[in-house]
Structure 1
């Protein structure tokens, strides 16, 4: 959740798929040089390669990383992760932003709980899918999705921010949020905590764990660090 999308999104098959297919072809060639290949084996190999390419063409837009500077592949939130997030947000209302919203399930769940929820995501296919789901569920007015770079997104209008990130990006994201949060807002981090912020509460464990941070606590931390 990062650099503009590259031409790989314009093609049905990504370079990774092409590289894998090339490896399959190379392996087939090596095998043919060491032992005779029957007609039936060639047919089976051809079917396998075609099936792989077709599968990647369909699923590629969903599993291709949405970031280029920091690799953030689409990994859907589990039901337990969603439950933990909503538990940490219990009693809160207002606007909510999910940065790197993926297929939109966090935003949609937040909308069901009364939030005016927004998602930003670089993967166009995921944005379109999320909008389709919002319309299908009758949540189009309270769950909105935009194709946008999280690093260029203004966080200040939102009372609640959700971050499903990689360990490598949390430090940089911490810096962006530290200077851009709305007074009185909170942040929920999932899968990985922020490296320097003290959470006020946590829910769950392992990959499902989520951490709650409050803006006023972060301001207190910043003041102490400057002294």
Structure 2
């Protein structure tokens, strides 16, 4: 074996190793949710879902939190649509890439003053200072979301769930159909 082929092999080995490492670092935030006890995958909101959330928030104002905010579209669109109402919106997300994307998008669109995005587990995030909660969750997590919201939210708050309702509760308003359905719950009426 000569030195040239040894150098080429060494270079190829390091190149492929570096590529594999880079791919792993990029994909880990997207794959790791599958290893959690409760998996909340990233599924972008459709335009109809966003419109339904805005309808549910009509005549509302105050602080809003989007649990599992993904790419931040809900937070940014709500702030843009309700600018006259001075919504302050927060997105909670575990995926660092989605948080960075959300922050950048908010900055580019000029809404960074009224939006915040935090990399945090939604189960440890305290909801007591929020009057509006939006949840794009999975069916198996909705009973836990219901308990968390009822324990932490002030009585004048609303909970807006997308794709799945809160179990054993009657929604005050149901907007849309199919996967675009949004359920609105008034906490005061629940307690």
CA distance in 2, matches of 1:122, 1:66: 12
How far does the alpha carbon of each residue in 1:39-72 deviate from its partner, in whole angstroms, 9 at most, with x for none? xxxxxxxxxxxxxx99887566446537711111
Of 27, 35, 45, the residue aligned with 1:77 is 45
What residue in structure 2 maps to residue 89 of structure 1?
Answer: 57
Is 1:124 aligned to residue 96 of structure 2?
Answer: yes
Gaps of 5+ in 1: 1-52, 220-227
Of 137, 140, 150, the residue aligned with 2:109 is 137
CA distance in 2, matches of 1:171, 1:134: 31
Gaps of 5+ in 2: 1-20
CA distance in 1, matches of 2:135, 2:30: 19
Matches within 5 A, 1:18-57: none
Matches within 5 A, 1:139-178: 139-178=111-150
Matches within 5 A, 1:104-123: 104-112=72-80, 113-114=82-83, 115-123=87-95
How far does the alpha carbon of each residue in 1:92-122 deviate from its partner, in whole angstroms, 9 at most, with x for none? 1111000010010000011112311000111
Q: How many residue pairs get matched? A: 169
How far does the alpha carbon of each residue in 1:186-206 deviate from its partner, in whole angstroms, 9 at most, with x for none? 010000000022100011011
SS in 1 for 2:33: coil
Of 163, 172, 185, the residue aligned with 1:200 is 172
CA distance in 2, matches of 1:118, 1:90: 18
Mapped contact 1:99–1:162 kept (Cα < 8 A): yes
CA distance in 2, matches of 1:196, 1:55: 43
CA distance in 1, matches of 2:32, 2:49: 22
How large is the RMSD of aligned CA atoms in angstroms? 2.2
CA distance in 2, matches of 1:74, 1:63: 10
- The runs of at least 4 consecutive aligned structure 1 residues that moved more than 6 Å come to 53-57
SS in 2 for 1:216: helix
CA distance in 1, matches of 2:107, 2:149: 30
Of 156, 160, 163, the residue aligned with 1:188 is 160
After superposition, the Cα gap between the structure-2 partners of 1:126 and 1:159, relative to the gap in structure 1 and judged at 3 Å, is: same
After superposition, the Cα gap between the structure-2 partners of 1:66 and 1:145, relative to the gap in structure 1 and judged at 3 Å, is: farther
Mapped contact 1:118–1:143 kept (Cα < 8 A): yes
